[in-house]
Structure 1
Amino acid sequence: MIFSRRNMERILDYIEEGIQIIDERGRIVYFNKAAAELEDIGREEAIGRYILDVYPSLDPETSTLLIAIEKGKPTFNMQQTFLNYKGKKITTINSSFPIKSRQKIIGAIEISKNITDVKELSEKVVALQEKLINKEKGNKSKGKGDCANYTFIDIIGQSKEICKVKNLAMKAAQTSSPVLIYGETGTGKELFVHAIHAASSRRDKPFIAQNCGALPANLLESILFGTVKGSFTGADNRAGLFELANGGTLFLDEINSMPIELQVKLLRVLQDGTIRRVGDSKTRQVDVRIVAASNEDPLVAVENKMLRRDLYYRLNVVALKLPQLKERKGDILLLTKYFIDKFNNRLEKAVKGVSDEVLEIFQNYDWPGNVRELEHVIEGAMNLMDGDVITLDCLPMNFERFNKKSIKKEIDIQNVPLKTALKNLEIDMIKNALEQGDGNISHAADSLQIPRQTLQYKIKKYKIKV
């Protein structure tokens, strides 16, 4: 099948990244929809214009497209901050490639990802943390600045599983060695990190947290290590989180999502306590305790090449594996009472507890979302209930199958022929998929993972009302 140029341009308009092409003279010959929106300029205005007319804050030495033509080599994931022709400040991550024909450069193509909003928000957070830290330094009543919000008292539980981890964490708090915490989403990793800092000798020093999976590699590097003016287009002299956390604790969440090239630099900090700002030749000494967290088994991350083996061994000086809620079901009643008290105060209610039926369901449920899921279930129920006891009617729909009627129905299935049981199960699954999809057959077919035509046939066969 042969694609026309027009068809190809339509396809490129569905891509989220901006795509630009210039000829050998630096004139724009193609602008996709995302690029036009990024630069806030109509395509008809951009096509045919010299690249620096659209980007007046750049020059031949800073334009990644012109550099690709000049050097004849590609550049990958280069961060660039510039002003467009309307004076709007924009930050992108660019990959630029020269276009060659018979060994002659005839132009260049660039793929740009807009990170303006992410960069601005990240810098505001860093700036706010810096203000809080500076304010704390000038404030004699320390402890209310950029510090940990939770202590070991806030970690609710009396089961042997959670008590064992708390005991290890308390011992870890008395050292300055790196700590690696592993646990599924919702098990309370951040609570433990806060508690470790609050119980340590660094409690009056900065506590700063950064999610390693939330930012592009270039931006994360500048946020962590800081920048010097001129290190890339639009860069200013700015301290990174390592400098801001000096003397305190830096919490690196989702360490398994940190780009491999940054893990090398993190390893250097752990080994010799020095950092180097992006674009700087000067090294700076920092005294920062690293606490890292992973939502998957770190050894699995190492095997999948998401985490460097040498970094894993350097971080794994003190290792804490947090138990899932299904592994500490003895704490469910205690946690339920805690969350009810919490939301009684927040929602101005007077809920006394949960019914025996709900408590039994809680004990039988696997809690894939762990403690966080239990908290959200309690909050949701207390927003919907009318009485002073949480009943089954207040719980989300996925708990319905745990009530006694549903369990009896499942038992009754065992007393019918297999063919009838399979038919009834199929009808129930179709009805449930249609209900979940608000009657939309396409959505229901997707959730059942069958063709739409097959689902229509079965609806007609079983005379299911849609």
Structure 2
Amino acid sequence: MGNKLNDLHLTDDLLQIILDEIDIGIHVINLDGKTVIYNHKMMEIESMNQEDVLHKNLLDVFTFKENQHSTLLEALKYGKTRKHIKQTYFNNKGKEVTTINDTLPIIKNGQIVGAIEIVNDVSKINQLMKNDLNQQRNTHFTFDQIIGESIAIKSVIEEAKRSAKTSSSVLIVGETGTGKELFAQSIHHESKRSNKPFISQNCAAIPDSLIESILFGTKKGAFTGAIDKPGLFEEANGGTILLDEINSLNPTLQAKLLRVLQDQKVRRIGDFVEKELDVRVIATINEDPIEAIANNRLRKDLYYRLSVVTLFLPPLRERKNDIFLLSAYFLNKYNSRFGLSVERLDDQVTDFFLTHTWPGNVRELEHMIEGAMNLIEDEKMITSFHLPTRFSNQIYQTTHIQTLDVQLVDDQISNEKQNKGQLKEKVQEMEKEYILQVLENHNGNITRAAKELGLSRQNLQYRLKKFKLN
């Protein structure tokens, strides 16, 4: 064993392997101020390649803010050793870099021969600190986190902010994925109750047999296995309770809920004592409340009690200008989460996003971008190939038909100039064969074939007539 250790020499290659494996940045310059060691972690922190830095003068690569200097050069020039120094500078592409450094001179035979900088990535440290702080505070959403510049969303935000100043009940109306809980939490966070509990319960997620005891609590002995347990209303006392999908509660339970709201008192199941409450109620509904009332899914008297303030959240299809802002936000979010550097959507995906109806709204947009970025490797933009198959096929088929139409126009111009019709006939034959193939795939069903081709039913029928296929 001892002989083997004696044979192990620290070669340059071995040194580089070790330096590249450690999770701190190492940057070493020689007496001339040129970089002689620059490890993989340092490249990652500074967003640089080794060839951009190695064997080059430090000041030819990096720039510093006015009145600020490189701690590495100060160690070289003045022999200064500095610990845990925060430094901000710019790489050769102008990107700002912030690090926490330990910098010291390299001394041989009493002479300074170089300097070394040991670097921690401050962005990761800040993120860890932020995550810990959020866990301690149980941070909720705020209005600042609601993304959108459209009049539709900004007007709702202003209404919600005004409602935060009171303790009146709020009914938030919106389709699935429009951000109802985000608004509810923002109202609580902005209100005088922000340092009190915020309790949320999805009423559709719990069976009727359990939801009453969950909301109102139980008295020991009320039924087999019952214990003294407070309900969510008691736990939210002084704060806010969010009742999500209120229209999923059965009418009997809605009547009991109405009594609690009117009296501001709650009685546990099996108990005879009522307890005073000071709870603000925010409820959400994912359909038109008038339709819910008409179809007996929502009691009219409960609706009037809850809708002191009513917020109607616009679906994404009615605020399509916000798609660009939302997409940029989600790109940044998942770039950070997945360690990617996706910069944008390509033109075909952008066009698709603007024409898609978004039945799942903002949540669907986020999930689509997250799913696409799971398929990204080194690409800088999301293309149709990264989207779910049903959408990428739709984009391809739409583009294919548009391309054929453009070819037809180009052919007409060419025929006028050259008095030749061969190209036009060829393109029409291609289009005819393509339509026939899609029709055959759908057993002649025009509606389904038109959908796959990205055409309206009428447009497809026109083409069938033009090509004498009907």
User: TM-score with structure 2 length normalisation?
Assistant: 0.58
Q: Which moved more, 1:329-338 or 1:259-268?
A: 259-268
Aligned-residue offset at 1:166: 0.5
The verdict on how the C-alpha distance between 1:145 and 1:431 changes in structure 2, with shifts beyond 3 A counting, is: farther
Q: Which residue of 1 aligns with 2:18?
A: none
> 1:176 is aligned with what amino acid?
S
CA displacement at 1:403 relative to structure 2: 2.8
1:182 aligns with 2:182: no
**CA-to-partner distance for each residue in 1:176-216, whole Å, 9 max, x for gaps?**
00000011111111110110100001000000000111112
Instruction: Tell me what 2:365 maps to.
Output: 374
Structure 1: distance between partners of 2:299 and 2:195: 32
Is residue 2:396 matched to residue 1:383? no
Measured after TM superposition, the shift of residue 428 of structure 1 is 3.4
Question: What is the alpha-carbon distance in structure 1 between the residues aligned to residue 173 and residue 308 of structure 2?
Answer: 13
Matched residues in 2 for 1:175 and 1:352: separation?
Answer: 42
- Are 1:277 and 2:273 an aligned pair? no
1:394 aligns with 2:407: no
Per the TM alignment, residue 358 of structure 1 is displaced from its structure 2 partner at its CA by 1.4
Letter in 1 for 2:398: S
Q: How does 1:131-142 map to 2 (within 5 A)?
A: none
Paired residues for 1:52-201 under 5 Å: 149-201=140-192
Whole-angstrom CA distance in 1 between matches of 2:295 and 2:202 = 20
Q: Within 1, Cα distance between the matches of 2:177 and 2:134?
A: 27
Listed as ranges, the matches of 1:247-396 within 5 Å are 247-386=238-377, 387-396=379-388
How many residue pairs are counted as aligned between the two chains?
Answer: 290
**What SS is found at the alignment partner of 2:200?**
strand
Separation of aligned partners in 1, 2:275 and 2:134: 26
Deviations 1:195-241 (A, max 9, x none): 01000010000000001111122210001000001111110011110
The percent of aligned pairs where both chains have the same amino acid is 51
Q: Quote how far apart the aligned CAs of 1:399 are.
A: 2.0
The structural deviation recorded for 1:411 is 8.7
Q: Residues 430 and 156 from structure 1, CA distance in 2 versus in 1: closer, same or farther, beyond 3 angstroms?
A: farther
Q: CA RMSD in A?
A: 2.7
Q: CA deviation at 1:406?
A: 2.6
Q: Any idea what the Cα deviations from partners look like across 1:144-183, whole Å, max 9, x if unmatched? A: 7685610001111111110011011101111100000011
Deviations 1:98-131 (A, max 9, x none): xxxxxxxxxxxxxxxxxxxxxxxxxxxxxxxxxx
Question: 1:375: how far off?
Answer: 0.4
Residue 403 of structure 1 is matched in structure 2 by 395
State the distance in 2 between where 1:306 and 1:236 align.
31
Shift of 1:272: 1.3
Q: Which stretches of structure 1, 4 residues or more, deviate above 3 A after TM superposition?
A: 142-148, 410-416, 419-426, 428-432
State the partner residue of 1:210.
201
Offset of residue 365 of structure 1: 1.2
Q: 1:146 to 1:222 in 2, by over 3 A?
A: farther
Larger Rg: 2
Is 1:427 aligned to residue 440 of structure 2? yes
Unaligned runs of 5+ in 2: 1-132, 409-427, 446-470
* Aligned AA (2:304): Y
Tell me if structure 2 keeps the 8 A contact 1:148–1:197: no
Q: Distance in 1 between matches of 2:339 and 2:434?
A: 47
Q: For structure 1, which runs of at least 5 residues remain unmatched after alignment?
A: 1-141, 433-466
Alignment-derived partner of residue 230 in structure 2: 239
